[in-house]
Amino acid sequence: MSVPPRTPDPRRDPSGARRNPPRAGRPADDDGPAPARSGRGGIFEAQAYTPRGRTVREQARTRTPRATPAKPVTPEKPAKPEQPTLRVVDGGRADEPRAPRKAASPARTGATPAARGGTTAGARSGTRGAGPARRTTTTTAPRGDGTGRAPARTPRPRTGTTKGGATAPRPPLRRKPRTRPKLADPNRRLRLGAFLALAMFACIGIRLVTLQVLPTPAYADGGIQDRLRSVTLFASRGGIYDRSGVPLTHSVEARHVYADPEMVENAADAAAKLSPLLGVARSDLEKRMAKRKLAGGIPSTFSWLARGVPIEKAQQVMALNIAGIGIGRDERREIPGADLAANLIGITGEDMTGLEGLEARYDDVLRGTNGKHRFEAGNGELDIPISGGYDEVVPAKPGSSLTLTIDRDLQYEFQRSLSENVLARKGTVGAAIAIDIKTGEVLAQASQPTYNAADWEKYSAVDREDAATSFIVDPGSVHKAIIFGAGLEEGVITPKTVWKIPNTIYKAGEPYSDTHPAGNKKMSMAGALAYSSNVTTIKVADKLGAQRVYDYQLKFGLGKATGEGMPGEAPGHVLPPDEWNGTSPGSIPIGHSVDVTPLQMAAVYATIANDGKWVQPHLIKDTVTGDGRHVAPPAPETRQVISPQHAAELRYLMEAVTTIPDATGVSGRIKGYRVAGKTGTGKRVVDGEYAPGDVASFIGMAPAEAPRYVVAVFAYTPGGGGGDVAGPAFREMMQYTLQHYRVPPSTKSAPKYTAFP
């Protein structure tokens, strides 16, 4: 059987005419039988692979041959050989029968299955049962038959071999439906891209609205920081004034001079030029201008050369035009009175911080708070404030000023008199206090030695101490006023009491004698004070008892700091009864084994002068704030110690000290004024031990009939003889005080006293 050659494209004939495949209801166009398949060999016999992995030819060998009805072929012209084509029909082999196809409805097509080239149920005897015809797979014959049409498809039932050798139709193949992979949907991609773009633009729009409309200080301030300039607005330190408003010390504008060691070319030459202007040693300036490294190896670019330089001096420094030398705004303390009240006022450091005295005690009040001016400025040549730009001013708050109770004129006179009298008797330490008895105001508080506060570095720390509050002494006989006051208050004695007084009294075997012995004669209480009788005082204390003596010491303000206002005020010390020893009843009443300060004893006598009412001594009259308001300090503490009657009786007895001839206090008399007071000779206490020498004291009040002021004078003379210091100094100071405040002289003469009735 001859095999016609295959054309390259089995779907077209050599002439290129389109062949019509057979359709249902009509016969195929081809007249002859379908051409048989070509044999083996050659590229033109390409194999078509099925999903089972076998070629069409391999499957053909295993099948049972089946008859193919011959069809007449009308040759028109010889067919040209065609190129082989690989072809898979419906996923199977080209010659594999297709699955049975459901027969079309006769009503729909108008043709029977036989007319469409299918088989009927009767024609498919020998199969598993009647049913619709299955789809078959046919190969298309080459279109070289001359008709231009493909042969009609002939259904070929699947066959198999049964046990009996008979041929039976094969069961239909059950393939899993193929699913085409879902490729990317362009519409979905378009929608997703549009959504992402819209979301991005929405975020950008919201962010723009946030930045442009809503307040965003963090971003607004970001650029400002590079343009901000800050200038410190200095606050001046408050001043200290006397009671009439005259400045004792105040701040004035000055300049500081500094050096940049990295820019100083010749330190020795610069120091030589600056030393005369700054008043600093040349060698010291050279050290300050020397190059040095800071922590971490960083070179130092700043060093103080001088603080508080007057403006005119600073201008002269700048006129030298020395590289690396500059000036800046500063403040310095100006003290018009030099040493006037210097021991009270104290000193400040270079940074205007109080170091001693009232400057230290009220540093938080005197010190101001610097302000700040922050503004926008340009860069480079445009480094000027930007008009309408950021501008913030935190005003400086000047410090408050202190108005003291000190009278400048009285203070000066007290310092002069104390210094002259102490130095004339070779004394080393002295203190003088004047108190207004009604108000407790300290009108003067002088110390010896003193110093020039404007040049305080030349003086020792001891010279700068305030003796009135730091000078610890055994008061001596001035303490006897407390014992006599307690005796009057407790009814132990009266102004008319007269006792026989021996020359000596013993306590625990220790003798206590009088400097003016009575010889066991009768002595009045006025005479006992006038001659400072130790024996009489001890006898009064014996009648009071240790507890009441201790109680009245505390009531009169001993053993506790007065709270006057000076820093470091010593509290003193008095012994409670359980600490007394065998000699305490003899020593304590006459002012020994009692630690006091001159200010405490001055307050005791102010209590007696003020009708027995103790008023806390104080130095601060008021505080003047930066805006000019006067703020009064808290009211001073007060307490009634003895009754006004007994206080008046005690003043009467104490006036005998300056009235009776040869009394201990005649050196304190003042012409025209009646004076009541008491002298004393005690010891200086240093670190709990008595220092050699004597501490002489005189405390008095005037006018005695209606006291206005109390003056206390203490002087330490290591060589003894202090009694000659206190009396004359008291007289000068009290007389000046009475005249300064225009106190009228006494209109009545002092009473007549009898020491030994």
How far is Cα 430 from Cα 448, in angstroms, rounded to an integer?
5
Burial (CB count <10 Å: 0-12, 13-18, 19+), residue 142: buried
β-pairing, 401-404 vs 240-241, is parallel
Mean pLDDT of 516-522: 87
Residue closest to 726 by CA, chosen among 666, 684, 640, 639: 666
pLDDT at 556: 97
- On whether the CB atoms of residues 695 and 718 are closer than 8 A, the answer is no
Alpha carbon separation from 414 to 422, 555, 737 (Å, rounded)? 12, 29, 9
CA angle 359, 361, 367 (to 5 degrees): 55
Position 183 confidence tier, pLDDT thresholds 50, 70, 90: low
- On whether the CB atoms of residues 673 and 701 are closer than 8 A, the answer is no
pLDDT at 516: 85
Amino acid of residue 658: T
Structure tokens at 706: 């209606």
pLDDT at 168: 57
Model confidence pLDDT, tens digit, residues 281-294: 999 999 999 988 88
At residue 530, what are phi and psi to the nearest 5 degrees? -60, -40
H helices of 630-722, where? 644-654, 656-659
CATH code of the domain made up of 231-403 = 3.90.1310.10
Highest mean pLDDT among 137-151, 200-214, 418-432, 697-711: 697-711
pLDDT above 90 covers a percentage of the chain that reads: 53
Model confidence pLDDT, tens digit, residues 242-297: 999 999 999 998 999 999 999 998 999 999 999 999 988 999 999 999 988 888 78
How far is Cα 521 from Cα 517, in angstroms, rounded to an integer?
9
Mean pLDDT of 712-716: 95
Q: Point out the least confidently predicted range of 86-100, 221-235, 613-627.
A: 86-100
β-pairing, 240-241 vs 228-233, is unpaired
pLDDT at 27: 45
Q: Which residues contact 699 (CB under 8 A, 6 or more apart)?
A: 478, 601, 602, 604, 605, 677, 678, 680, 710, 711, 712, 713, 730
- Could you tell me if residue 752 is left (phi over 0), alpha (psi between -120 and 50 degrees) or otherwise beta? beta
pLDDT at 308: 86
CA atoms within 13 A on the CB side of 550: 13
Mean pLDDT of 456-479: 93
pLDDT for residue 562 is more than 60: yes
pLDDT at 279: 87
Position 189 confidence tier, pLDDT thresholds 50, 70, 90: confident
Query: Within its chain, how far is the Cα of 578 from the centroid?
Result: 51
- On whether the CB atoms of residues 337 and 248 are closer than 8 A, the answer is yes
Residue 306: beta bridge partners? 257
pLDDT at 589: 96
Query: Within its chain, how far is the Cα of 322 from the centroid?
Result: 39
Average pLDDT, the chain: 81
- End-to-end alpha carbon distance in the chain: 189
pLDDT for residue 144 is more than 70: no
Residue that the structure tokens 């010491």 belong to = 553
How far is Cα 693 from Cα 25, in angstroms, rounded to an integer?
158
pLDDT at 347: 93
pTM of the shown model: 0.69
How far is Cα 326 from Cα 304, in angstroms, rounded to an integer?
10
- On whether the CB atoms of residues 507 and 529 are closer than 8 A, the answer is no
Mean pLDDT of 668-684: 94
Burial 498-516 (b: 16+ CB within 10 A, else e): bbebbeebebeeeebebeb
pLDDT at 386: 81
Position 352 confidence tier, pLDDT thresholds 50, 70, 90: confident
Residue 404: beta bridge partners? 620
Position 119 confidence tier, pLDDT thresholds 50, 70, 90: very low
DSSP letters spanning 293-351: B-TTSPBP--EEEEEEE-HHHHHHHHHT--TTEEEEEEEEEE-TTTTTTHHHH--B-TT
Highest mean pLDDT among 71-75, 181-185, 326-330: 326-330
H helices of 113-236, where? 186-212, 217-224
β-pairing, 247-259 vs 240-241, is antiparallel
pLDDT at 578: 95
Highest mean pLDDT among 134-143, 198-207, 227-236, 375-384: 198-207
Amino acid of residue 208: L
H and E: helices and strands count for the chain: 21, 25
Amino acid of residue 209: V
Cis, bond preceding 703 (omega within 30 deg of 0): yes
Q: Which residues contact 406 (CB under 8 A, 6 or more apart)?
A: 242, 243, 248, 341, 344, 442, 443, 444, 445, 619
pLDDT at 552: 97
Amino acid of residue 324: G
pLDDT at 640: 97
pLDDT at 345: 95
720 compared with 29, residue with greater pLDDT: 720
- On whether the CB atoms of residues 121 and 131 are closer than 8 A, the answer is yes
How far is Cα 118 from Cα 444, in angstroms, rounded to an integer?
146
pLDDT for residue 49 is more than 90: no
In CATH, what class is 412-740?
A: alpha beta
Highest mean pLDDT among 47-61, 82-96, 101-115, 513-527: 513-527
Structure tokens at 718: 């290591």
Model confidence pLDDT, tens digit, residues 405-464: 999 999 999 999 999 999 988 889 999 999 999 999 999 999 999 999 888 988 999 999
How far is Cα 598 from Cα 713, in angstroms, rounded to an integer?
8
pLDDT above 70 covers a percentage of the chain that reads: 73
Structure tokens at 528: 């006992």
pLDDT at 24: 46
pLDDT at 131: 44
316 compared with 157, residue with greater pLDDT: 316
CA atoms within 13 A on the CB side of 352: 28
Q: Point out the least confidently predicted range of 50-54, 167-171, 430-434, 548-552.
A: 50-54
Mean pLDDT of 9-22: 47
Structure tokens at 26: 């009509």
Q: Delimit the CATH 3.40.710.10 region(s) of the chain.
A: 412-740
Identify the three-state secondary structure at position 375.
strand
527 compared with 79, residue with greater pLDDT: 527
Identify the three-state secondary structure at position 136.
coil
pLDDT at 17: 46
Alpha carbon separation from 339 to 133, 431, 463 (Å, rounded)? 139, 15, 11
Q: Delimit the CATH 3.90.1310.10 region(s) of the chain.
A: 231-403
Residue closest to 620 by CA, chosen among 563, 568, 556: 563
